[in-house]
Amino acid sequence: MRKASDELVAKLLPKAMAGLNLAVLEGASPAEVARDLATAPMFRGRKVVVVRDPEFLQPKKGRADGLSKIKDAWNVGRRRVAANRALALMAKAGFGLEMLLAPDPEALARELDLETEEADAAFLKALGEFCQAEGLTAPEGDTRALEALLEKGLPKDHHLIVEAQQIDSRTALAKKLLKMGVSVEHKVERELRKLDIRAVVADVLKPFKKRLAPEGEQLLKDLCGGNMRLLQSELEKLAVYVGDERPTIEAADVRLLVRRAREEEFREIADAIGARNLKAAIHYVEVALDQEEPALRIHGAIASIVRRLLEDRMRWGALGFGARTTQREFNGRGMEALAEEAKERGTRVPHPFVCWLGFQACMRFEPRELVRALLAVAQADVELKSGGVGRLVLERMLFKVCQRGA
């Protein structure tokens, strides 16, 4: 998406004008975007305003990970951008700085669909303290100024480019943008084994005159997944680290500098548990612990997965579905039930095939097995907080979660 945006900017603006006639906004409010769009450029001619992942266009609920972009920005040192994003996200639910300083997991889950663990709460608190120290406040969320400018029409030769991984197309502002502009969709391969990052790697490293060793490329793909923005920042960091000493970035450099940050990292452990694949689940835990991921955070992710499996198993059972339910029946009656739920919650219905995979996962367990798994999770929580060895506690818990039996 970033590459496509950059190519569009290059077609609209000569390089000589890009320095002064191009504005790139991240974490900006609708009013700030409107002001920048309405302001004349430094040099006569075209002006381009690029807005990256605007929080005011994001859905309030139903995101894969509402904190991922905030964490990405924070982890690469862009703390003010991360803080502005966090404040804007909190403002969607009517929360202010106090929710960052003292996160309420129940309120965040209820209002924003954010499942937060202890590590997330500590991260949000650090964000809040940074906002307090810098005097940052929630950006103005009123979209009327930007809507009015779009309705009136942008000044001559002024162009707006919006980069967004997800938007709430029901809002008045999104409808105006989609009606007046051109929507270009770019899909990233979600299945890791099919994901090809070679072109991105070559483009990012070309200015640095570097190349990435094949083993390093595979490792970086495993760590960053389809998060192209994070992949780009990590490649730039690696190129700077290697410096002028050598032309090739090796796997050892990637292991040293890049932490696991894949957006779908919890989906990986969820898939393993849903398939009752003990070997894959333990492998995930071993890699995460080797990269200094807190054992309690891993435990929290597994706890959420088991709770979700139990909730889904009980819900589908109550609706008369079972392990012998066909995909055709599920796509009919099952998706109708999910559509009703989504309508009540004001969220989008996931793709039917994704829902079908989740249904199959919960149906691999009997309700009593999931209750037993939840008890194992609770016991592991006590052990971890009582000084238990993280690796042993988590592996023992996973054995109980994945095993079959009475």
How many separate helices (H) and strands (E) can be counted in the chain? 22, 5
Please tell me the predicted confidence (pLDDT) of residue 406. Answer: 52
Region 185-206: mean pLDDT is: 71
Q: Contact 95/146 with Cβ under 8 angstroms? A: no
pLDDT confidence of 213, banded at 50, 70, 90?
very high
Max mean pLDDT among 120-134, 176-190, 224-238, 256-270 falls in 120-134
- Of 342, 336, 344, 343, the C-alpha closest to 319 is 336
Of 271, 292, 299, 307, nearest in space to 396 by CA: 299
What secondary structure, in 3-state letters, does 154-180 show?
A: CCCCEEEEEECCCCCCCCHHHHHHHHH
Chain segment 312-366, per-residue pLDDT in tens: 999 898 888 988 888 888 888 888 888 888 777 776 677 787 788 889 889 999 9
Nearest of 243, 239, 271 to residue 258 by alpha carbon = 239
Average pLDDT over residues 208-212: 91
Amino acid found at 181 = G
Domains of the chain: 1-186 (3.40.50.300), 192-257 (1.10.8.60), 265-402 (1.20.272.10)
Confidence check: pLDDT of 58 > 80: no
Is the per-residue pLDDT at 290 higher than 70? Answer: yes
Q: What is the pTM of this model?
A: 0.44
Residues 87, 387: Cα–Cα separation, whole Å: 35
% of residues, the chain, pLDDT over 70: 88
Q: What is the pLDDT of residue 120?
A: 80
pLDDT on residue 405: 66
Q: Tell me how far CA of residue 262 lies from CA of 71, 245, 342, in angstroms.
A: 11, 29, 27
> Tell me, what's the pLDDT at 265?
53
* Strand-strand pairing, 211-212 and 158-163: unpaired
Residue with tokens 């608190």: 125
* pLDDT beyond 60 at 89: yes
pLDDT-derived band at 262 (thresholds 50, 70, 90) equals very low
Mean pLDDT of the chain: 81
Give the model's pLDDT for residue 193.
Answer: 59
Q: Does 126 or 61 have the greater pLDDT score?
A: 126
Mean pLDDT value of segment 185-194: 55
pLDDT at 263 over 50: no
| Most confident listed range (63-72, 113-122, 293-302, 309-318) | 309-318
pLDDT in tens, 90-141: 887 788 888 899 988 888 888 887 777 777 888 888 899 999 888 887 766 6
* pLDDT band per the 50, 70, 90 thresholds, residue 191: low
End-to-end alpha-carbon separation of the chain, Å?
Answer: 49
Let me know the angle formed at the C-alpha of 195 by 193 and 197, rounded to the nearest 5 degrees: 130
pLDDT at 398 over 90: yes
Q: Please name the helix (run of DSSP H) or strand (run of DSSP E) that holds residue 372, with its range, or none.
A: helix 367-385
For residue 189, name the pLDDT band (cuts at 50, 70, 90).
Answer: very low
Beta carbons within 8 Å of 64's beta carbon, 6+ residues apart: 263, 264
Which residue has better confidence, 8 or 252? 252
> Looking at this protein, which amino acid is placed at residue 3?
K
